[in-house]
Structure 1
Amino acid sequence: MVSSTVALGATVVTLAVFAAIGIRYSRGDGSVESFISARGSVGGYRMGATVLASSMGAWILFSPAEAGAAFGGITAVAGYALGSALALLAYVKLGPRIRELIPEGHSLTEYAYVRYGPVAYAYVLVVSVAYMFVFLAAEFTGIAGALSLVAGVPAWQTAALIGGFVLLYTGYGGLRASIVTDTVQTAVLLPLIAVGFVGAVFALGGPAELVRETAASNPDLLDLGFLPGLQFGVYVVVAVVGAELVNQAWWQRVYAAADDTSLRRGFGLGAALVIPMVLFAGLFGVFAAGTGALAEGEASIAFFVLLQQSFPDWVVLVVVLVAVLLVTSSADTLFNAIASLVTSDLPRLLDDPSGDRLTAAARGLTAVVALAATVIGAQEYSVLAIFLTADLLAAATFGPLLAGLYTPRLSGGGLLVSSVAGLLVGLLFFPTARGVLAGLPGASALPEASFLYSFLGAAVVSLGLAALATQVAPADYDLGRLSTEIRTLDGGSGEREEAAPADD
């Protein structure tokens, strides 16, 4: 086992390098617009890099592996890959629509406020923040478990180190710092991950040997018709797509893109690259379970369990440092995204919404988010279980919320009724809610718990009721109000902050 001192030292050096890059690049521009939107400053290939780095995060080494090991084998992994790609591809179409209707916007919550009213806004704010915060907690939980496994590092130390360093450069430079570190991380991580995956497979005996061992011990893991795997593959698509469509991080990048072409290229490139990465990562979970390498509770760190059994300690440490970078690539994105949600709404609440005051508020909120995520990440919960809980909220909300970009007939009341009804249906079937629901009167009449019915029910019921609301109680909203009522925070015109790099 690697000593905890060596592991912590290497982690500190790695984090310090990227903190320095983020601080150096973002120096000299302290405007609130730069901090939360970096409007019009990112070309297509750099957009692809930040989309990929932000989307893959450390979860790519944990959640797909847990899905493959504990939720249905190869078909579960394939569904995870498809859902991850579809979520990004949705923005290829959705992003230009957002920019067209709300050219000076910043967040999905300010859109919800103007389009649907204050009550719907509060509901959407809770859903979006809950999802992103859970994403953060899951990232910190995963990396804390990996360092605990390979070097015996206490979970709180890992979470505190990563949270502190990411806060250092994100709190200073905001979204611009996040995007530049994402770009560097993608350039470093893609080849390392590719080489690491291929090397690990052959060090473990090669793909043929791994398939043979898995087929002999647990053939269901490789069966494309295995029902639990198929069910997981279906509901994880709904869960991931729904969650990412209420993810403020992507709304920020919609505005950061230099133009619609850069936006489409960036999200399309991210979608294409995330598929093989999720597949490779998930297969490690399949093989770890199939070869009997996992002990109870180790499904989410299956990748590292296999590495530790097959490689010298220094190689395992390098891979853990890669995972640390993956955590920072998504953590800096989410720190800033959560803070930006509230910051973009502060002008309605403050008597003096000056740029300096808003920037200070954004930095303070970033610190609060970092501290809370660090505390939760030290608790060592199940990574995939954490994700699924937040995904259900999003699955019941994304359809009615985004419908307002295309139809003037859905009201705020229609959004709330359809979303809450969808959420209630989802909770009735949600397995992890049974501990709470079991104590209620009439609990014996609850339907059989099922993630599949839970996510499909939440999405289908909310979409269906939203469509019904446009017919039964139609609104007559003028979509042109979105561009006139949502303005930049510094009083400017919303033009680009700087010329986009010539990478298109």
Structure 2
Amino acid sequence: MVSTSLALGLTVAVLVGFTVVGLWFSRGGVDSAEDLITARNSAGQGRLTATLVASVMGVWILLSAPEAGALYGIGAVIGYGIAEAVPMLAYSSLGPRIRKMIPNGHTLTEYAYVRYGPAMYAFVIAVSVLYMFVFLAAELTGISLALDYLAGIPQWQTAVLVGLFVLAYTGYGGLTASIVTDTVQTLVILPLLVGSVAFAIVSLGGTASVYQGIQATNASLLDPGFVPGIRFGIALVFAVLGAELINQTWWQRIYAGDGAAAVRRSFRTATVANGFILLLATLLGLVAVGAAPVVTEFGSQNYNAGIAFFVLLEEAVGGPVVIGVVVLALALVMSTTDTLFNALSSLVTADLPRLLADPDDRTLRVGARLFTIAVAIAAIAVSLRARSVLRLFFVADLLGAAVAFPLIYGLYDESLTGPRALLSSVSGLAVGSAFFPFPFGLHGLIDKWLGGLLPTPDATYLVPFAGAFLVSTVASILLAWHSDHDFDLSSLSEEITRLEDPSTATDGGAPRESTDGKQEEWSR
């Protein structure tokens, strides 16, 4: 435990430091709504890789990942590592295709509107915004719980401080500010994370002592054949893949890269880096079970698996390391929170022209910033009541698992229609929801309304996540096969245009020939 005043002062200092970096390096670089939300072609491979890594590494990796390790053991450790690697690998191929098919795009929702029509568009925007909102709330919940536990800082103070400072630089500098701060945050996060894990293990007497502690407390967590752990690990792959495929964060960065090759290489590098980081973070929960008083019984008044890493720190190490972890946690939460603010802002900015009659550039920027502020306030309110970051994430992941494949499939198949994509998504969501162990007693309440028709929820989450993803996938493919619809995929590049000049069209980085034979120039 560190003193409240020291931790609060350190919190403010870290927040101010990153805010100054974001404001300074984005000054003069955001002259339009287009600049605010895309930073198009501005990031080389190094910076793009850094922001792909930092955008994943929210404070949740110190909370939900160790929580998963503490509950489900080695299966969760391996599962989380694979789960975070697979989406990055998918985007290494998907990213260049998005740039090619929609060279002047901004968001996944504008693609959904043009490709599938208003009904599927409304569903996708609702799911995407809700997912990112829950993600944001989970991040603020995580940092609030961590600093309350480590230093006694009231949760509302942490949530408000983080929200205000991150809003300050993202509201001004947009995606440019986020990418710059992500680069710095990655340089801070990686050594602190590896150092914290190494120091904790050394303090506990080394790997042999750690293994013996886990063996004595709950040997099943170390068993590769532990069925709940295997089921949970597989469930994570479906959950995270589905969620990341509807995450606007990655669509923004696809366009921020300075070329298709940089996008491809950066996502491949992030595949390895993000997989390793999550494997390491989940392992912390397993270590904590054998070395600290971690309570893993759901419903118990003393349940603390959600902060297993911090319980471990208090048990194993002293003040200086805890201070380093406070800095680590703040860098983590800022790296993801600014990403989410920008992603939400980009959705609103790109979609406002559909709601307003010819809005000017200033209206787009103001609207995006006001919406982001409103979402931040709501997320802070939710964070003050939530207790488990892992379960918050899973509610959002269920939505992604149901809609991801139908949404992405339309980039490759011309036969799938909007109504059929929507039907596929809703079918997957219905199946997943039926088996999902909703928090706060909602599953029991819904079952009561339905007269006891719901099946028993799956505590390992495999059936709900795999069911949602696979049902929507199979339904999409079958419905496309039996469709005589023939959507012209080339129309995506014609109908989705830049905000500042709808007549401009490029191929995602290189100039192309205009209709009169003259070459159009890149307009940044």
- Structure 2 length as normaliser, TM-score? 0.92
Question: Contact 1:145 / 1:380 at 8 angstroms: preserved in 2?
Answer: no
Paired with 2:436 and 2:193, the residues of 1 have a C-alpha distance of 34
Look up the match of 1:49. Answer: 50
Aligned residue type for 2:282: G
Look up the match of 1:380. Answer: 386
Give the superposition deviation at 1:292. 4.8
1:438 paired residue among 431, 442, 447: 447
Aligned residue type for 1:349: L
Q: How does 1:87-166 map to 2 (within 5 A)?
A: 87-166=87-166
Give the superposition deviation at 1:157. 0.5
Aligned residue type for 1:389: V
Look up the match of 1:253. Answer: 253
Paired with 1:231 and 1:312, the residues of 2 have a C-alpha distance of 36
Give the superposition deviation at 1:351. 2.0
Paired with 1:193 and 1:30, the residues of 2 have a C-alpha distance of 37
Q: How does 1:189-204 map to 2 (within 5 A)?
A: 189-204=189-204
Give the superposition deviation at 1:497. 11
Look up the match of 1:225. Answer: 225
- Asked whether 1:396 is paired with 2:405, we answer no
Q: How does 1:27-38 map to 2 (within 5 A)?
A: 27-28=27-28, 29-38=30-39
2:332 paired residue among 326, 335, 341: 326
Structure 2: runs of 5+ lacking an equivalent: 296-301, 511-524
Paired with 2:499 and 2:408, the residues of 1 have a C-alpha distance of 23
Give the superposition deviation at 1:315. 2.1
- Asked whether 1:306 is paired with 2:312, we answer yes
Look up the match of 1:25. Answer: 25
Question: Contact 1:41 / 1:497 at 8 angstroms: preserved in 2?
Answer: no
Per-residue CA distance 1:125-144 (angstroms, 9 max, x = gap): 01111111111111111111
Look up the match of 1:415. Answer: 421
Give the superposition deviation at 1:154. 0.8
Paired with 1:378 and 1:457, the residues of 2 have a C-alpha distance of 32
- Asked whether 1:460 is paired with 2:460, we answer no
Per-residue CA distance 1:204-255 (angstroms, 9 max, x = gap): 2211101011112211111111000000001110000000000000000000
Q: How does 1:290-301 map to 2 (within 5 A)?
A: 290-295=290-295, 296-301=302-307
Identity %: 50
Per-residue CA distance 1:41-61 (angstroms, 9 max, x = gap): 111111100000001111111
Give the superposition deviation at 1:364. 1.5
Per-residue CA distance 1:104-159 (angstroms, 9 max, x = gap): 00000000000000111000001111111111111111111110111111111110
Paired with 2:254 and 2:221, the residues of 1 have a C-alpha distance of 38
Aligned residue type for 1:485: E
Give the superposition deviation at 1:187. 1.4
Question: Contact 2:104 / 2:508 at 8 angstroms: preserved in 1?
Answer: no
Look up the match of 1:487. Answer: 497
Q: How does 1:235-250 map to 2 (within 5 A)?
A: 235-250=235-250
Paired with 1:226 and 1:498, the residues of 2 have a C-alpha distance of 49
Aligned residue type for 1:370: A
User: Structure 1 runs of 4+ off > 3 angstroms?
Assistant: 492-499
Q: Which moved more, 1:267-276 or 1:241-250?
A: 267-276
Aligned to 2:455, the other structure's residue is in SS state coil
Give the superposition deviation at 1:409. 0.1
1:364 paired residue among 365, 370, 390: 370
Question: Contact 2:258 / 2:509 at 8 angstroms: preserved in 1?
Answer: no
Give the superposition deviation at 1:495. 6.0
Aligned to 1:380, the other structure's residue is in SS state coil
Aligned to 1:475, the other structure's residue is in SS state coil
Paired with 1:388 and 1:460, the residues of 2 have a C-alpha distance of 17
Paired with 2:170 and 2:156, the residues of 1 have a C-alpha distance of 21
Aligned to 1:294, the other structure's residue is in SS state coil
1:448 paired residue among 439, 446, 456: 456
Look up the match of 2:322. Answer: 316
Paired with 1:292 and 1:356, the residues of 2 have a C-alpha distance of 54
Aligned to 1:345, the other structure's residue is in SS state helix
Look up the match of 1:476. Answer: 486
User: Structure 1 167/497 Cα, relative in aligned 2: closer, same or farther at 3 Å?
Assistant: farther
Paired with 2:164 and 2:171, the residues of 1 have a C-alpha distance of 10
Look up the match of 1:234. Answer: 234
User: Structure 1 459/496 Cα, relative in aligned 2: closer, same or farther at 3 Å?
Assistant: closer
Look up the match of 2:516. Answer: none
Paired with 1:385 and 1:494, the residues of 2 have a C-alpha distance of 43
Structure 1: runs of 5+ lacking an equivalent: 500-504
User: Structure 1 65/382 Cα, relative in aligned 2: closer, same or farther at 3 Å?
Assistant: same
Paired with 2:363 and 2:207, the residues of 1 have a C-alpha distance of 57
Aligned to 1:346, the other structure's residue is in SS state helix
Aligned to 1:280, the other structure's residue is in SS state helix
Give the superposition deviation at 1:321. 1.6
Question: Contact 1:30 / 1:359 at 8 angstroms: preserved in 2?
Answer: no
Q: Which moved more, 1:168-177 or 1:270-279?
A: 270-279
Aligned to 2:63, the other structure's residue is in SS state helix
Paired with 2:95 and 2:261, the residues of 1 have a C-alpha distance of 10
Question: Contact 1:41 / 1:496 at 8 angstroms: preserved in 2?
Answer: no
User: Structure 1 208/372 Cα, relative in aligned 2: closer, same or farther at 3 Å?
Assistant: same
Give the superposition deviation at 1:498. 10
Paired with 2:36 and 2:50, the residues of 1 have a C-alpha distance of 19
Look up the match of 1:502. Answer: none
Aligned to 1:409, the other structure's residue is in SS state coil
Paired with 1:495 and 1:299, the residues of 2 have a C-alpha distance of 50
User: Structure 1 204/496 Cα, relative in aligned 2: closer, same or farther at 3 Å?
Assistant: farther
Question: Contact 2:255 / 2:508 at 8 angstroms: preserved in 1?
Answer: no
Look up the match of 2:411. Answer: 405
Paired with 2:98 and 2:260, the residues of 1 have a C-alpha distance of 10
Alignment root-mean-square deviation, CA: 1.6
Aligned residue type for 2:397: D
Question: Contact 1:45 / 1:265 at 8 angstroms: preserved in 2?
Answer: no
Paired with 1:247 and 1:26, the residues of 2 have a C-alpha distance of 24
Paired with 1:174 and 1:189, the residues of 2 have a C-alpha distance of 22
Aligned residue type for 1:116: Y
Paired with 1:474 and 1:393, the residues of 2 have a C-alpha distance of 28
Aligned residue type for 1:264: R
Q: How does 1:58-97 map to 2 (within 5 A)?
A: 58-70=59-71, 72-97=72-97
Give the superposition deviation at 1:436. 2.9
Give the superposition deviation at 1:496. 10
Give the superposition deviation at 1:471. 2.4
Aligned to 2:143, the other structure's residue is in SS state helix
Paired with 2:393 and 2:332, the residues of 1 have a C-alpha distance of 17
